[in-house]
Amino acid sequence: MLRLLCVGILLLAGVTSLVAQSPTSVWTSQYWTARWILHPTAPARQYGIYHFRKLFDLGQKPARFVVHVSADNRYRLFVNGKAVAHGPARSDTQNWNYETIDIAPYLQPGRNVLASQVWYMGEGAPFAQMSYQLGFVLQGDGDTEKLVNTDATWKIWRNQAYSPIKNDIPKLRTYIVVGDGDRVDASQYPWGWEQPGFDDKNWVAAKPLSFPTKPRGLGTDGNWGLVPRTIPMMEERPLRLASVRRSDNGTMDNAFLQGKSPVTVPANTKAVFLLDQSYLTNAYPELTVSQGKSSTITVGYAEALIDAKGQKGNRNEIEGRTLRGFEDQFIADGGAKRVFRPLWFRTYRYLQLTVETKDEPLILNDLIGQYTGYPFEEKARFAASDTTLRSIWNVGWRTAKLCAGENYYDCPYYEQLQYTGDTRIQSMISLYVTGDDRLMRKAILDYDHSRFNDGLTQSRYPSADFQVIPTFSLFWVCMIHDYWMHRQDDEFVKSMLPGIQGVLNWHEQRIAKTGLNGPLEWWNFVDWSKWQNAKDEAAGGVPAGARKGGSSILSLQQAYTYFRAGDLLAHYGYNERAEHYRELGRRLNKAVYAQCWDASRGLFADTPLAAAGQTGKSSFSQHANILAVLTDAVPVNQQATLLQKVMADTSLTQATFYFKYYLFEALKKTRQGDLFVAQLKPWRDMLGMGLTTFAENPEPTRSDCHAWSASPLYEFLSMTCGIRPAEPGFKSVRIEPYLGDLTTVNGQIPHPLGSIVVQFQKTASGGLSGTVTLPANLSGTLRWKSKTIPLKAGSQSVSL
């Protein structure tokens, strides 16, 4: 788009902010006077990119000019040529977000223009995009602003420059559902459309929809139920690629990437430039070109290059490797300083430009990225005598940030879907590193909105593709328990209790007469492990005993959740119901011990079944035994020994990076946190392979960036530094550090009352000394080995 578009994006990060929307605002409880508008003749449920404009005059520059704006699928709003908002935050149609923005800073006396680019991806939309049909709405907040309400006075243009690039799934050889790429033909693009002086005489009047615009809960139809956005706008900031790694049939050096030296590709030439960001990122690439009429520039993106066997190997290596990945395409029109920017951000470490010129040379003027993501602020601090842990911290934090936008992402490159199993871990990282709970709260609410008639939540939401993982519904309950322990928000937590009981009841109804889980429907994913004797589970990730019944793992996860639900229900006065679930948990534990404990091996088996022709149990995993510790299915005095055996026995089905979160929780429970740092070898191995984020799975892995693998960040703070809530709402703190072979550790986490800061060192005699600082009105305890001392608000020296 025109170069001013890019300037506007920079302003978006530094100036624009959402106006806080009160729950009692008139626009949350009455019909809007603005109307949803769209093109009068174009199909409303097929692919299309549209531009809207509204010219209006002001006598003077206003001090305040607040508008509420939304669209389906998405919009980018400009005021007098400057980009000021991008949305709406993803949701479902009955909880459709709108943004509330004060655009007064961008207005001027006299003629002004509001302009919005709206796109509807049709069947090529990302799975994370839910939808009703094409539409755009903008509502002025008061009498002054109502002159810009969307109606037939707005003009619209369908931009035929755009067409979709379909993801070649056989080529990419994986599951990728982030939507189509963008092909833009510059010769058909209405350059300057967002500027006040653009001539829109050939544009047509927008068509208002016949039904009224309404907030959620009003009306008889089910199009869009509007709700205020509850999270901040996404961060954007400029980002430059680090190096040119390879040039084929062309010349380019790093000066081009620094914006200092344009590159000319001669006429009738095909040139390929492989560029390296040096680390994985999420960004809107912005490519500026001049001349080169009818030249085609294909932009490819990849997390890593692959060799002839399709393997990634060391992520830093390029020799004998090629880029295979997601693509966009721009066709030049011969104009000066044309800027291509895709509609949605791209994830890449490597970016490849393939330039094919025709009869005119093409000038590549510049290429810059605009990093984007949820605006988390890193408030935590961690340092230790082992300085190599710093690299794990830094790469883990990058991983967590790249997996957080308008919702949490399992992975930014392939799916961008908010899965509960991933999100539970991501939320704990967010709480401990940033203190920002808004995205966690939104995620909990998203899953509540996803519930369907079985009583379960969907496994990922928002999602246009229905998927159910019953184990993730259980983790949703646990996620609410996590939130309850860390935040005082009783009204919100209580509103989740009906959904919690629906999930618990579904699982209760499927307890067999054996006392273990009976046959379970849907996809009972546990971990991407190489499960023993689970051949009937075609979907993958599922242990034996899910489809036919008798899984110790699924039974124990149910017990694990019942105990947490019991805490929640008892806290809010539902004592009888709480005891019912606690008793169910105890019964499940007893049944697992009675039927799945193998005394000869001193381990829990995955099912009670013996292998064919054998007398012993048929399959064993770390997972079953980790959950047995977490639920007390094994006597407390045996838990530490069992866990040590689980970590040492490589014949067991091994937990991958995802489920190691629960292994680490078991280390805390058995007071064996001193073993944690030694468990980080897989993370060190990833760093040794050149990964700049932590992967979904051990090699070979699909995704190089999965936030569930960033769990060591949370553990550094909650286990190594030992900082955890001692009671619901984090009203007091329990600090129990585990230094292992470390001699010193320093940590800080944000708390709703301020910062908790610890500085510890081991003494020569095996004791602990240091300082602890608690915010005002927070108290707690410090435990070291078997000794405990009280802590008070303020800074205090400690010695144990």
| Rounded Cα distance, 110 and 56, in Å | 8
Spatial contact of 96 and 130, defined as CB atoms under 8 Å apart:
no
| Rounded Cα distance, 362 and 335, in Å | 10
Kindly give the pairing relationship between strand 96-102 and strand 226-228: parallel
Spatial contact of 253 and 76, defined as CB atoms under 8 Å apart:
no
The pLDDT of residue 6 is 39
**Hey, what are 611's tokens?**
């292998």
Amino acid in the structure at residue 516: L
Total Cβ atoms within 10 A of residue 783 = 16
Domain architecture of the chain: domains with CATH: 3-161+189-231 (2.60.120.260), 236-373 (2.60.120.260), 510-675 (1.50.10.10)
The pLDDT of residue 17 is 63
| Rounded Cα distance, 477 and 290, in Å | 55
Spatial contact of 551 and 518, defined as CB atoms under 8 Å apart:
no
| Rounded Cα distance, 192 and 533, in Å | 62
Q: With residue 586 as reference, give the H or E element that holds it.
A: helix 575-596
**Among candidates 493, 386, 450, which has minimal Cα distance to 94?**
450
Q: What is the pLDDT of residues 483-526, one digit of tens each?
A: 999 999 999 999 999 999 999 999 999 999 999 999 999 999 99
**Hey, what are 420's tokens?**
């509960």
- Sign of torsion over alpha carbons 535, 540, 544, 550: negative
| Rounded Cα distance, 478 and 485, in Å | 11
Using a 10 angstrom Cβ sphere, with 0-12 exposed, 13-18 middle and 19 or more buried, the burial of residue 94 is middle
- Sign of torsion over alpha carbons 478, 480, 481, 487: positive
Spatial contact of 68 and 100, defined as CB atoms under 8 Å apart:
yes
Q: Where are the alpha helices (DSSP H) in 249-402?
A: 254-257, 389-402
- Positions in the chain whose pLDDT score sits under 70: 1-17, 20-24, 168-172, 536-538, 611-616
The pLDDT of residue 2 is 37
What are the backbone angles phi and psi of residue 795, rounded to the nearest 5°? Answer: -95, 140
CB within 8 A of 483, min separation 6: which ones? Answer: 427, 437, 440, 441, 444, 489, 492, 493
Give whole-number Cα distances, 458 to 284, 669, 794, in Å: 30, 30, 44
DSSP 11-53: HHHHT--BPP--TT-GGGTS-BSS--EE-SSS-TTS-EEEEEE
**Among candidates 200, 344, 245, which has minimal Cα distance to 285?**
344
**Among candidates 718, 628, 686, 646, which has minimal Cα distance to 303?**
686
E strands, 292-332, where?
A: 296-302, 326-331
Spatial contact of 276 and 353, defined as CB atoms under 8 Å apart:
no
**Hey, what are 733's tokens?**
């703190």
> Long-range contacts for 214-218 (Cβ within 8 Å, ≥24 apart)?
214/31, 214/32, 215/27, 215/28, 215/29, 215/30, 215/32, 216/94, 216/95, 216/96, 218/30, 218/31
Q: What is the pLDDT of residues 170-199, one digit of tens each?
A: 666 788 999 999 999 999 999 999 999 999
